[in-house]
Structure 1
């Protein structure tokens, strides 16, 4: 049985604000399985917003583990991310999970991968998933040449461009900002 996967998640830090968004498409092989999947989650009363790409069941397992780490480290997002990445890489069960995450608060955005990476994007833009390169390219151009746009507007337009190009990305967006 084929796994349900494929998506685009984009986070932007711009003009003192952070926004993260994702499309709503879940794909099984070459077929759209669902059009309105919510791949963005709020944690710690909205102070941290997460987005995931990859296998949905795997992503939910990682989201639960991340929330446990947040609680264990007093809401320190960077520390929780590093501890999750260490567990993800070394734990025999977690190592098999196929997903990636973007986590964001008002100050920073991080990409967490199963290879033990916790990456803070240099340009304030993070993207994961099948349409990530399209969304990232669009967001980079807008951040550089359309500085009047808000972080949320850049995320929306970046996702729109990705959805126009990537067959695994649709136009049903959920966009959130950490409080």
Structure 2
């Protein structure tokens, strides 16, 4: 069976906003089988935005589990993410999931993985997927050398990633939240 490759997910926290963008391409081997997949979605009363890279069925399992944890911990993304990562690492069924997830809210930008990682970004930029490194590098440069807002940075960085990564297209889903004030 051919491995499904797809996706670039990018989260940018900048100028009082947090934005997540995801491309729509799904590929099977060297063939594009879908152009407009929705890999970015809102959870917990639209206060959390998530994006995934990896198996779609596995991602839906993770979305459901994260939503349950958010309900259990009254919308606390950090607490819910840590508990999900513990389950993901130790649960026999979850351990086999092939996906990575980024979750953001007004305060936190977190990368979650099946090895139990919950990583908070130092720079406000996180990316996963086959074009993630390209998008992250582009977003970092755009923030440092332009006056663009978070959404414009995310869109331009994803456009750059799509021009480099054959598993990424420029059919974007972009979601935005206001970031919590610093201090």
TM-score range with shorter-chain normalisation?
over 0.9
Q: Does 1:149 align with 2:148?
A: yes
**Structure 2, unpaired ranges of 5+:** 179-183
CA offsets per residue over residues 139-167 of structure 1, 9 Å max, x none? 00011111x21111110001000000000
CA shift for structure 1 position 29: 1.6
* Aligned-pair CA distance for 1:79: 0.3
Runs of 4+ in 1 over 6 A off after TM superposition: none
Distance in 2, Cα, partners of 1:66 & 1:3: 25
Work out the CA distance in 2 between the residues paired with 1:29 and 1:95. Answer: 24
Structure 1 distance, partners of 2:30, 2:43, is 32
Aligned length: 178
Contact residue 36 and residue 171 of structure 2 kept, 8 A? yes
TM-score by length of 2: 0.95
2:171 is matched with which residue? 172
CA displacement at 1:3 relative to structure 2: 4.3
Which runs of 5 or more structure 1 residues have no equivalent in the other structure? none
Contact 2:11 2:18 in 1 (8 A): yes
Q: Where do residues 58-137 of structure 1 align in structure 2 (5 Å cutoff)?
A: 58-137=58-137
Alpha-carbon distance in structure 1 between the residues aligned to 2:76 and 2:50: 14
